[in-house]
Amino acid sequence: MKTSRRDFIKTAGMAGGMLATGGLSACSGSGDSSSSKNVPAIWDISENKGKQVFNMSGYAAPKIDVIKIGYIGIGGRGMAAVKRMALLEGVEIVALSDLKIEKIDEAKAYLKKLGMPEPKGYADGSQELWKEMCDKEELDLIYIATPRDLHPSMCVYGMESGAHVATEIPAARTLDECWSLVETSEKTKKHCSMIENCVYDFWELLILNMVRQGFFGDIVHVDAGYIHDQRTINIDKAKTWRIEEFINRNGNIYPTHGLGPACQVLNINRGDRLDYLVSMSSNDFTMGPKIDELALTDDFYKKYKDKWKLGNINTSTIRTEKGKTIMLQYNVSNPRPYDRLQQVVGTKAVSKKYPFPSRISVGHEWLSEEETAALVEKYTPRLVTLVGEMAKKVGGHGGMDFLMEWRLIDCLKNGLPLDMDVYDAAAWSSIVPLSEWCVANNSVPVRIPDFTRGAYKTNEPLDIAMAKGGGSTKIKTTIKFNDDYF
C-alpha cells in the first residue's frame, strides 16, 4: 500500500499507532525474488511519476563561448563564488541579487578592482526581486547561494527562464521538490546541478580514478558522512534559518558532502541506483540544553526553548539495487573532529580518507607512506593535473571549490555533460525527507525513488577524473594573480 505524498504529514504523525496496530504488514514487499513473509516490507512514499520526458544524464547542451552568470545570494558562499568565477576566461558576471544592497556593492567593488564591467544589481529588501533578474537579464547560468528552503523554487524558475542553474546543497528538501527539479530540467533541457564541492576533493578524485582503472575491483561498500562541530553556528542569531531548520526536522538534513563522492564511486544513476534506506537518530543531548541555558538571559532564544528536534547523530544505511551498501552519518552538534568518513571497500583494495594521513590497503595492513605516494603519482587524474595547483592557490576548501567551478564552466563552454546532473541533485537530496520520514516511523525501510525512471540501467558512467574533451578554460590573462584578490 502506497502512502500518498499529500498524506505524508498525517502518516508521520500516526507512525507509532500504525506500527503498533500492524500497519506495516500492509505495505509493499521488497521486490526481491527471494522475498518471503519473513522479509520486512519497504515503504514507498513517492508517487510513480510515469515515463521520462528527456534523459538529462549524459546530455551535452550547446556550447557557450561566453557564459553570462547571474547570482542569487551574495553572502559568504555567494561572494566567494563571485571572486573565483571572475578569474575564469569566458565568464561574464552580469547580474547580482541579494536582500542587502551592501553585499552587492561589495561584489561590484571587487569586480571593478579586477577591471571587469559592473554587473546590474537587484536589491531592495524584496524576497522576490531575484525573479526580476531572471526575467530581465539574458543569463546562461544562475548560481544560487541562498538558505536551503529557497533552492528548489529558484532552480525551477531559473530553468523556466531559459538558464542552466547551479545550486548550493541540498537542492531540495521534499520529494515533491525533487520531482519538480527533474521534470523541469527534462522539459526545458536545462542543466540543474548541485554545487557539491566534496566531489572535487583531490583524494576523492584520486580514488574515483583508481576505481575506474580497476584497482579496487568491485566496490562493495562505502562509508560516508558529514561530521563537523557546528555547535556555535547552529544557534547563530545571524543565521536564524539554521535554527528554524533544526528545531523542525529530524533526520539527515545535509547528506550530500559524504554521499556525493560515494554515489560517483558506485555509479549511482549510471548503472546502479539507490534502492532503499533505514535511518535513525539519537536524541539531542547538546543543542536543546544550550538554547534553554541561553534563554535564561537572552530573550531571542526564548521562542526556541523546548523546541529543538534534530537528534545529535543520524545514521542511515542505504542499499543499492545491485546490492552495494552505504553507511551515511550526520553529526554537527558534538565535539568531534571534522570527518567525511570516506572509506571505500572493494574486493581488491580499501581506501580511507580520515583521519589523516589518508590511506590505502590491499590486505590486512595499510600500505606504507612510500607505497601510497607511488599510487598517488600513478593515479593522479587529469583533472587535478590540469587545475590542481591553481585550485590550491585560489582556494576554497583547499581548492576543491575552484576545481568544481572551473569544471562547471569548462563543461558548459565545451558542450560537455555535467558531472552532477538533475538526477543526482534529486537522488542525493531525497535523503533529507526520506531519512526524516524513516526516523519518524521507527526506522522502517523506505524506498528511494528512481528519478531516472529506469534510464539508469543504460546511462553511461561519467569519468570526472580524466576530464575528457575539456581543459580549455584558463585564468584570465588580464588579471595579475596574487593574494590581494582573495
- What's the CA angle centered on 414, arms 411 and 415, to 5 degrees? 75
Contact 262, 320 (CB under 8 A): no
Express each pLDDT in 3-16 by its tens digit: 444 444 344 444 44
Res. 29: pLDDT tops 50? no
Express each pLDDT in 120-130 by its tens digit: 999 977 778 99
What is the pLDDT at residue 2?
A: 43
Does residue 355 have a cis bond before it (omega within 30 degrees)? Answer: yes
Sign of the CA dihedral with 329 first, then 331, 334, and 339 last: positive
Sign of the CA dihedral with 86 first, then 90, 95, and 98 last: negative
What is the pLDDT at residue 37?
A: 59
What is the pLDDT at residue 273?
A: 98
Of 423, 20, 446, 438, residue with least CA distance to 182: 423
> CA 447, CA 48: separation in Å to the nearest integer?
12
What is the pLDDT at residue 34?
A: 44
Residue ranges of the alpha helices (H) in 296-399?
Answer: 369-379, 382-394
Positions of E strands within 145-218: 164-167, 192-194
Task: Kindly report the average pLDDT of the chain as a whole number.
Answer: 90
Fill in the amino acid letter for 478.
T
Torsional class of 58: left (φ above 0), alpha (ψ -120 to 50), beta (otherwise) = left
Express each pLDDT in 350-409 by its tens digit: 999 999 999 999 999 999 999 999 999 999 999 999 999 999 989 889 999 999 999 999
Give me the count of residues in the chain.
Answer: 486
DSSP label at 254?
Answer: S
Express each pLDDT in 135-147 by its tens digit: 999 999 999 999 9
* Crossing angle of helices 202-212 and 369-379, rounded to 10°: 80
Extract the C-alpha cell encoding 69: 552568470
> CA 358, CA 416: separation in Å to the nearest integer?
32
- Mark 330-360 as b/e (b = at least 16 C-beta within 10 Å): bbbbbeeeebbbbbbbbeebbbbbbeeebbb
Q: Tell me how far CA of residue 148 lies from CA of 128, 426, 477, in angstroms.
A: 16, 14, 36
Of 261, 210, 215, 208, residue with least CA distance to 362: 215
Of 223, 465, 219, 221, residue with least CA distance to 348: 219
> CA 137, CA 354: separation in Å to the nearest integer?
44
Q: Supply the Cα-derived Rg of the chain in whole angstroms.
A: 23
Q: CB burial class (10 A; 0-12, 13-18, 19+) of residue 433?
A: buried
- Mark 165-184 as b/e (b = at least 16 C-beta within 10 Å): bbbbbbbbbbbbbbbbbbbb
Domains of the chain: 67-195 (3.40.50.720), 198-382+425-466 (3.30.360.10)
> Reading across the β-sheet that carries 91-97, which strands appear in turn?
120-122, 91-97, 67-72, 141-144, 164-167, 192-194
Residue 206: partners with Cβ closer than 8 Å, 6 or more residues away: 376, 379, 380, 381, 384, 465
Express each pLDDT in 218-266 by its tens digit: 999 999 999 999 999 999 998 898 899 999 999 999 999 999 999 999 9
Confidence of residue 90 (pLDDT cuts 50, 70, 90): very high
> CA 245, CA 149: separation in Å to the nearest integer?
9
> CA 371, CA 379: separation in Å to the nearest integer?
12
Percentage of the chain exceeding pLDDT 70: 90
